[in-house]
Amino acid sequence: MRRIAPLLLLLSLPAHAGMTVITLTDAAKVRLDVLSFFIVSYLLLGWAVKGLWNSLSKTFERMPRLSYRRALALLLLSGLFLYVILTMISGARELLTPGAWEKQGIGYRVRADGPAGESKDARRERLEGLRDELWRHAESHDGQAPLSPFSGEIPRERWRMKGGHYLGYARPERLGNDRDVIAYEPASAGPRRYVLLNDGSIEDWAEGKLNAELKKRWEK
């Protein structure tokens, strides 16, 4: 200890101009702080898990006593298990709503501009193309809309969009009679979707408003 003390004293002296001083960059300091925080949290949670487990073992005699090392191992395995589950949920979400999510850091967020980066103007133009085909069909069929998206009465391409197909097609008795929802964009379009109404208008609706209108239609 006596030999180490002078060395520690030298390290504590201020550096003079021109001397090389080894320090961490700001990014490295932040990463070191974050890493230290998680390590300390992990060690403290290990003590908490050990205490809770051993308190339960007093009530349930078949439960073995848990050492601190085993508590840390149990915490690590639980974290890995949850990581796998969350990864599977993220994968399923991407499959159900293709193109609706974009990577941000280590996570994902809903695209602000629609599926696969498509602009709002392009999305509106696509739905306007579907509307024009529907009204063109009605003009030559005494105001009647096509039976379904699969009847072949209008080109199938009109029902498609980037990230999926238009949903909720409800064949009205006559086009232009009311403001019922005829078709709307899928969830891959994001939190706001374009909706085609029976009066020919195309509106940008929030998901909550769209769900409320669809619920009214189902209750009729």
Nearest to 189 by CA among 136, 121, 116: 116
- The answer to whether 130 and 159 are in contact (CB under 8 A) is yes
pLDDT reading at 101 higher than 90: no
The model's pTM is: 0.50
Most confident of 60-64, 96-100, 122-126, 160-164: 122-126
Most confident of 15-24, 94-103, 115-124, 190-199: 190-199
- pLDDT at residue number 62: 83
22 vs 7: CA distance, rounded Å: 17
- Give percent above pLDDT 90 in the chain: 22
Quickly state the pLDDT bin for 170 (edges 50, 70, 90).
Answer: confident
Quickly state the pLDDT bin for 26 (edges 50, 70, 90).
Answer: confident
Lowest mean pLDDT among 57-61, 96-100, 121-125: 96-100
- The answer to whether 205 and 192 are in contact (CB under 8 A) is yes
Distance (Å) of CA 198 to CA 42, 56, 57, 108: 58, 63, 66, 36
Nearest to 183 by CA among 193, 191, 137: 193
Quickly state the pLDDT bin for 187 (edges 50, 70, 90).
Answer: confident
pLDDT reading at 8 higher than 70: no
Give the domain ranges of the chain.
Answer: 27-96, 118-219
104 vs 112: CA distance, rounded Å: 12
SS3 for the chain is CCCHHHHHHHHHCCCCCCCCCCCCCHHHHHHHHHHHHHHHHHHHHHHHHHHHHHHHHHHCCCCCCCCHHHHHHHHHHHHHHHHHHHHHHHHHHHHHCCCCEEEECCEEEECCCCHHHCCHHHHHHHHHHHHHHHHHHHHCCCCCCCCCCCCCCCCHHHHEECCEECECCCCCCCCCCCCCEEEECCHHHCCEEEEEECCCCEEEEEHHHHHHHHHHHHHC
Quickly state the pLDDT bin for 129 (edges 50, 70, 90).
Answer: very high
Lowest mean pLDDT among 17-21, 107-111, 204-208: 17-21
